[in-house]
Amino acid sequence: MVDIAGVLGSMFSLIIVTILGFIAARVGYLTADIRPKISNLIFNITLPCTVLASVGEVDPSTGGDAITWSIVLGAAIFFVMLVAAAVAVAVLRVPVEQRGLYLFQGVLTNTGFIGFAVLDSVFGGASVFLGSIFIAISNVFLYSLGIAALTSGGASGAEAHRASLAETAHTVLRNMLNVPLVVSLIAMVVFFANIPVPAPIMQAADMTGGITAPLAMMLVGLSIADADLKSVLAEWRLWGFTLIRFLITPLVAYLALAPIVPSELALGVFIVLLAMPTGSMAGPIAATYGQDGDIPARGTIVSTLASFVIVPILMLVMTMA
């Protein structure tokens, strides 16, 4: 399905950029106070440009089948993640008051930052467009059922449930209607309606989107540099959760779906996104809903470090299958 040597080379390149971000943080070029600004730059400008530029790389003759399966798998991926997280919680006997946090960090993954960087490196620009379809669909479930899972346990969860329905609905709607989602929908309209986009616009989108991956990976390096790695790496339950949710689950999913899904590209995107680590926003969002944001924040570091090993393993399995 993919060239494993190329995959390893791509992942190694991402690791190098992450290390550069780590070094930049250590010497003071990157600091925690500018992280929100860079995140907003990526999320609201460079990432949407990446999605728009990817439309031109989808082959119309083969794109229809891949898009159809991307829609189907995009509707399923959230529930696969949620079930996998629930299984991990049960196996690891996570304390009741922490179960919602573990479920949430299992469904809020870093698809937008690391996910698109890996997809573009491994499968090329067309996979970014397919990935945007996955994210557009799964976000509907993430900011509704995902938030419900987060607030499902503990006293703080009960307090969150007492919040006004109007306020909760407003927050969910605001999170769902973000710039990448809107651009993803525009990109799908452009593709299906075969709307010509002026070359200067596509070139500008391609140039701007080109900085998404390096910026995203440097932010990962910044997060690692800011973390107390000694205490984070000692969290055995987070490592067990990462093993079950981010490695075993994608392996089982691939073995189950490979005989069924005819589009190798759509299946590859599904497996890569399924293996993406917990997103950096998991902690802040948890704190917003009155939960302990420290646990998902630690999960972000553990699963991100593990992803540099997990993704090549998954690509190797798909190559050999």
The sign of the dihedral angle between the CA atoms of 74, 78, 79, 81 is positive
Rounded Cα–Cα distance for residues 245 and 92 (Å): 12
What gap in Å lies between CA 19 and CA 53, rounded to an integer?
27
Coil, helix or strand at residue 197:
coil
Are 190 and 138 a contacting pair, CB within 8 Å? no
By CB atoms closer than 10 A (0-12, 13-18, 19+), residue 288 is middle
pLDDT at 212 over 70: yes
pLDDT tens figures, 119-157: 887 888 788 888 888 887 887 787 667 877 887 754 444
pLDDT recorded at residue 271: 95
Q: Which residue has the tokens 């420290």?
A: 294
217's CB contacts (< 8 A; 6+ apart) are: 14, 17, 18, 21, 114, 117
Binned at pLDDT 50, 70 and 90, residue 63 comes out as low
Residue 181: the pLDDT is 74
Higher pLDDT, residue 176 or 142: 142
pLDDT of amino acid 39: 80
- What pLDDT, on the 0 to 100 scale, is given for residue 113? 67
Domain assignments of the chain as residue spans, ordered by start: 4-320
Assess contact for 132 and 51: CB atoms under 8 A: yes
Average the pLDDT over 155-180 and give the result.
56
- Residue 242 clears pLDDT 90, i.e. is over it: yes
Q: Which fold has domain 4-320?
A: Na+/H+ antiporter like fold (1.20.1530)
Residue 44, pLDDT > 60, answer yes
What are the C-alpha distances in Å from 199 to residues 38, 60, 204, 209? Answer: 27, 18, 8, 15
Cα 70 from Cα 294, distance rounded (Å): 33
How far is residue 164 from each of residues 123, 161, 175, 287, measured CA to CA in Å?
Answer: 44, 8, 17, 18
Q: Helix, strand, coil: what percent of the chain each, to 5?
A: 80, 0, 15
Distance CA 142, CA 249 (A): 18
Alpha-carbon gap, residue 157 to 180, rounded angstroms: 29
